[in-house]
Amino acid sequence: MNLKERVKDILGDDLLVMAEFRGDLCIEVPSKRLTQVLARLKEEGGFDFLSDIIGIDNIDLYVKKAKKGKKEADEKEDVVDIGPPPPRFEVIYLLLSLSTNERLQVKVSVPEDNLELPSITSIWRAANWPEREVYDMFGIRFKGHPNLRRLLMWDEFQDHPLRKDYPLEGKGEERHLDYDVA
């Protein structure tokens, strides 16, 4: 049985989307079921090694799409439906099976109004710092994390620098300071 079928077998209804690109398999699962899904993948799928946790801010993708849509609409002089904006953030868990050397990307979406995910430090202790880093860089909080503080930025820092709206020049966090004053 190849990897795709096995993953389908294990996850069943929890599997939302499955995509393959250049041999890398990426699946999307609902964020509410994240801990269960990862635990099952670990127990039944043999994905016993957590390689990394990656946060992604998708806002620019949507902005780009919207621009493109508008351009098309101008050309066609018609309304082009680009759909509702997708959940702003997504978090990817890179799993690895030590016995078969297969890698799997497990993706969960995190909407901007509910920046919360269950922590998986109980499944892999390795998730400790990567989760802190994702919190630091994107502001996604992990419920149940033993020590969710900033990791790379200093504690007083206000903003989350890897978000796409963090400016390249100047002190991005000052936006927040201004906001506080006003």
Partner 1 sequence: MTKKFETICITTGPTEYSDYVTLNIGPIHPAMHGTLRVITKTDGETIISAKPEIGYLHRGVEKLGENLTYTQFLPITDRLNYCSAICNNVAYEMAVEKLLGIEAPPKAQLIRMIMMELARIADHQVCVGILGVDLGALTPFFYLILQREEIYEIFEWHHGARLTNSMGAIGGVEADLPDRFHEKWPKLRDSIRKANDETDKLLTHNRIWMDRTIGVNAFCGDDALDWGFTGPMLRACGVRRDLRKDEPYLMYDKVDFDVPVGKHGDVFDRYMVRMLEMEESIKIIDQAYELYKDFPEDAPLMKKVPKIIKPPEGQIYHAIESPNGELGFFIKSDGSDKPYRIKIRPPCFMVYQAFEDLVKGEMISDLIACLSSINVIAGELDR
Sole window of 7-15, 28-36, 110-118, 127-135 interacting with partner 1 (rule: CB under 8 A): 127-135
Instruction: Report the alpha-carbon distance of residue 118 to residue 91 in Å, rounded.
Output: 12
- Residues within window 58-97 making contact with partner 1, judged by CB under 8 A: 60-61, 64, 92, 94
User: 139 in the Ramachandran plot: left (φ > 0), alpha (ψ -120 to 50) or beta?
Assistant: left
Shortest approach of partner 1 to residue 81 CB, angstroms? 20
Residue 36: closest CA among 120, 109, 135, 134? 120
- Asked if residue 153 binds partner 1 (CB under 8 A), the reply is yes
- Asked if residue 129 binds partner 1 (CB under 8 A), the reply is yes
CA 50 to chain centre: 15
* Residue whose CB is less far from partner 1, 12 or 103: 103
Among 87, 151, 158, 173, binds partner 1 (CB under 8 A): 151
The answer to whether 87 and 113 have CB atoms below 8 angstroms apart is no
Q: What's the CA angle centered on 110, arms 105 and 111, to 5 degrees? A: 150
Cα–Cα separations (whole angstroms), residue 28 to 9, 23, 104 = 15, 16, 11
- Asked if residue 16 binds partner 1 (CB under 8 A), the reply is no
Shortest approach of partner 1 to residue 117 CB, angstroms? 17
Shortest approach of partner 1 to residue 69 CB, angstroms? 15
- Asked if residue 162 binds partner 1 (CB under 8 A), the reply is yes
Among 112, 166, 173, 175, binds partner 1 (CB under 8 A): 166
Burial of 130 (0-12, 13-18, 19+ CB in 10 A): buried
Provide the binding-site residues for partner 1, judged by CB under 8 A.
21-22, 24, 26, 48-52, 54, 56-57, 60-61, 64, 92, 94, 98, 101, 103, 105, 124-126, 128-130, 137, 150-154, 161-162, 164, 166, 168
